């Protein structure tokens, strides 16, 4: 059997068909990985983008996992890898976590009493290099269905220069780039919203906001409450435990430009006041670093209470691939003192 086919090992298994495919039960202690890599056969009319959307993936997810498959004409019967195994992002498993380097959102809803905990995960679009999405901690301060869009003057100028002038207000409807759902963050001018251009989900194409497939944010919108915490991180390398294995997931390091001009987004994308007093922590995205620096940081973080060893040959292979598909890159040292003494 092809080793890339679905591996349902009982941990982080996709839930039943009664729930959306992007919802996973959180694994027990000692496990930081959910989901399983799978393959599907393309239909004659499929593009890779179509296959990605049907399976909870974005543009970069599907393209990087299938470098030898034509994006627009995979061909009937072509085998397409679905990179639907995920190392959970570093940090607390609560609220919303946006990992920009991964183009992915994770949401940890509060479990009901006596019920298991779950994580929802969806592909996202993020800000372009000249309109970067900021890093930091914030919260959901408002939720709006069928929002109007009030494009900032800078965005109107950009569209006018391209021969696509915008009105001062874009009402709800098919021409509204915010789609039917928007959740405003405590960072002035930044939202998580739907889109009328779903083909761009999973790419770096926005003016700093987070864009989602319409069907994904509709589901998320109903689940997320007011004041839900939101962490925006840049983690191109994630390392976690899968039993005694150290599993590593590597994405290309974002080429960050300094976020000049982002202050103009304060003009806001929808006419919903933040309520004032939102003193959230933000950071200017750092300049790109060597991916091995991220590896070292993540390794130290996950081995704080459990000794482990990385296989640096495998680490280099995964860095070279940078395809977002998790793989074993090390193991637990069950007797660290004995191991250290023997080296």
Given the residues 60, 193, 207, 251, select the one marked as catalytic. Answer: 193
Given the residues 60, 159, 207, 209, select the one marked as catalytic. Answer: 209
Distance CA 226, CA 237 (A): 30
Report which of 329, 324, 328, 256 is spatially closest to residue 67, judged by C-alpha positions.
324
Q: Residue for token digits 């890093």?
A: 135
Token couple for 7? 């591996």
Dihedrals φ, ψ of 72, to 5°?
A: -95, -25
Q: Which helix (H) or strand (E) holds 321?
A: helix 312-321
- Answer yes or no: 209 catalytic: yes
Distance CA 70, CA 334 (A): 45
Report which of 195, 186, 153 is spatially closest to residue 274, judged by C-alpha positions.
186
- Answer yes or no: 207 catalytic: no
Q: Which helix (H) or strand (E) holds 68?
A: none
Which residues 6+ apart lie within 8 Å of 155 measured at CB? 166, 207
Greatest Cα-to-Cα distance within the chain, rounded to the nearest angstrom: 71
Token couple for 256? 């960050």
Count the neighbouring beta carbons within 10 Å of the beta carbon of residue 70.
Answer: 12
Q: Give the torsion through C-alpha atoms of 269, 178, 48, 88, to 10 deg.
A: 70
Residue 165, strand partner residues: none
- Positions annotated as catalytic residues are 193, 209
């Amino acid at each position: 059997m092809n080793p890339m086919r679905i591996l349902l090992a009982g941990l982080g298994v996709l839930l039943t068909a009664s729930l959306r495919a992007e919802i996973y039960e959180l694994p027990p202690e000692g496990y930081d990985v959910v989901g399983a890599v799978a393959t599907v056969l393309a239909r004659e009319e499929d593009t890779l983008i179509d296959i990605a959307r049907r399976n909870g993936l974005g543009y970069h997810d599907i393209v990087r996992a299938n470098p030898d498959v034509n994006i627009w004409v995979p061909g009937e019967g072509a085998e397409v890898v679905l990179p639907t195994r995920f190392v959970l992002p570093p940090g607390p498993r609560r609220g919303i976590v946006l990992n920009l380097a991964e183009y992915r959102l994770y949401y940890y809803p509060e479990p009901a009493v006596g019920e298991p905990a779950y994580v929802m995960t969806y592909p996202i679009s993020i800000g372009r290099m000249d309109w970067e999405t900021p890093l930091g901690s914030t919260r959901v301060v408002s939720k709006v269905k069928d929002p109007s869009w009030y494009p900032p003057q800078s965005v109107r100028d950009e569209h006018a220069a391209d021969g696509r002038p915008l009105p001062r207000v874009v009402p709800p409807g098919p021409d509204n780039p915010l789609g039917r759902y928007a959740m405003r963050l405590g960072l002035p001018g930044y939202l998580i919203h739907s889109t009328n251009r779903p083909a761009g989900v999973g790419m770096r194409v926005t003016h700093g906001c987070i864009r989602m497939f319409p069907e994904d944010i509709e589901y998320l919108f109903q689940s997320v409450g007011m004041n839900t915490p939101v962490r925006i991180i840049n983690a191109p390398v994630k390392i976690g435990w899968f039993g005694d294995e150290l599993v590593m997931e590597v994405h290309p390091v974002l080429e960050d430009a300094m976020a000049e001009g982002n202050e103009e987004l304060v003009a806001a994308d929808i006419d919903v006041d933040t309520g004032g007093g939102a003193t959230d922590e933000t950071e200017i995205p750092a300049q790109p670093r060597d991916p091995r620096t991220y590896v070292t940081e993540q390794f130290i973080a996950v081995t704080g209470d459990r000794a482990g060893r990385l296989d640096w040959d495998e680490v280099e292979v995964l860095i070279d691939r940078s395809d977002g598909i998790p793989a074993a890159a090390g193991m637990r040292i069950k007797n660290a003192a004995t191991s250290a003494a023997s080296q």
